């Protein structure tokens, strides 16, 4: 299932500057695996050594922060918009 992934500025060196790329997979985990296969190394920037989402990264499927849903097991139906965003403090 094709999905769209929005890439934050600091990871665009992996995507030749592209702000948005396509990926595939039924869950967020699969989508990130495919993303890493297409842009080697990018997966290790989003996930830590144990395979969990790094604590200063927020990942959204559609409008939902995946920490509110099923984390890496969150379903990613075709056409999903996925966003990877650095956490920022301040308010």
Partner 1 sequence: MALTDAPQFGPATGLSCRECGTVYDLGPLFACAECFGPLEVAYDFGDVRREDIESGPTNIWRYRVLLPVPENVATKPNLQPGWTKLVKADNLAAELGLRSLHVKDDSGNPTHSFKDRVVSIALEAARTFGFHTLSCSSTGNLAGAVGAAAARAGLDSCVFIPANLEEAKVTMAAVYGGRLVAIDGTYDEVNRFCSELIGDELGEKWGFVNVNLRPFYAEGSKTLAYEIAEQLGWRLPDQIVIPIASGSQLTKIDKGFRELIKLGLVEDKPYRIFGAQAEGCSPVSAAFKAGHDVVQPVRPNTIAKSLAIGNPADGPYVLDIARRTGGAVEDVDDHEVVEAIRLLARTEGVFAETAGGVTVGVLRKLVRNGVLDPDAETVVLNTGDGLKTLDAVAAEARPTAVIRPSLEAFRTAFAN
Q: Does the protein bind partner 1 through residue 17 (CB under 8 A)?
A: no
Cβ proximity to partner 1: between 6 and 26 the closer is: 6
**Which parts of 24-83 interact with partner 1 (CB under 8 A)?**
45-46, 48, 54-58, 60, 63, 65, 67-68, 83
Token pair of 10 as six digits: 């600091």
The answer to whether 24 and 5 have CB atoms below 8 angstroms apart is no
The answer to whether 85 and 7 have CB atoms below 8 angstroms apart is no
How many other C-beta atoms lie within 10 A of the C-beta of residue 38? 15
- Residues forming contacts to partner 1 in the complex (CB under 8 A) are 6, 8-13, 19, 45-46, 48, 54-58, 60, 63, 65, 67-68, 83, 85-91
């Amino acid at each position: 299932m094709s999905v769209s992934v929005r890439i934050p500025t600091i990871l665009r060196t992996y995507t030749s500057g592209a702000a948005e790329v396509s990926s595939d997979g039924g869950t967020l985990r699969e989508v990130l695996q495919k993303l890493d296969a297409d842009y080697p190394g990018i997966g290790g920037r989003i996930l830590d050594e144990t395979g969990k989402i790094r604590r200063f990264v927020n990942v959204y499927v559609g409008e939902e922060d995946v920490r509110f849903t099923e984390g890496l097991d969150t379903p990613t139906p075709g056409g999903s918009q996925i966003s990877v965003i650095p956490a920022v403090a301040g308010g």
